[in-house]
Amino acid sequence: LLLNRLMDYARPCKRLGSVLKHGLGRFVPQLQRITFQLSQTDGAQTGIRDYIESDVVELARRNPSVVVYVMPTRTKCSRIIAEYLNQQNLSIDTNRMEAHQVKYWVDLLLSKSGQRDYRLLNMHHTDTPSIQGQWTPYTNKDISLSGQRFQKTVDDAGRVTITSNGEGSEARSVRRVPIANGVFERVGPF
d(CA 116, CA 114): 7
Taking a C-beta distance cutoff of 8 angstroms, is the pair 29, 65 a contact?
A: yes
Instruction: Say which DSSP state 6 is in.
Output: H
More confident residue, 105 or 13: 105
- Tens of pLDDT, residue by residue over 77-123, are 899 999 998 888 999 999 999 999 999 999 999 988 877 777 777 77
Q: Which of 92, 118, 105, 103 is nearest to 51 (CA)?
A: 103
d(CA 42, CA 21): 44
- At residue 32, does pLDDT exceed 70? yes
- At residue 26, does pLDDT exceed 60? yes
Confidence (pLDDT) at 109: 94
- Tens of pLDDT, residue by residue over 60-76, are 999 999 999 999 998 88
- Tens of pLDDT, residue by residue over 36-53, are 999 888 888 889 999 999
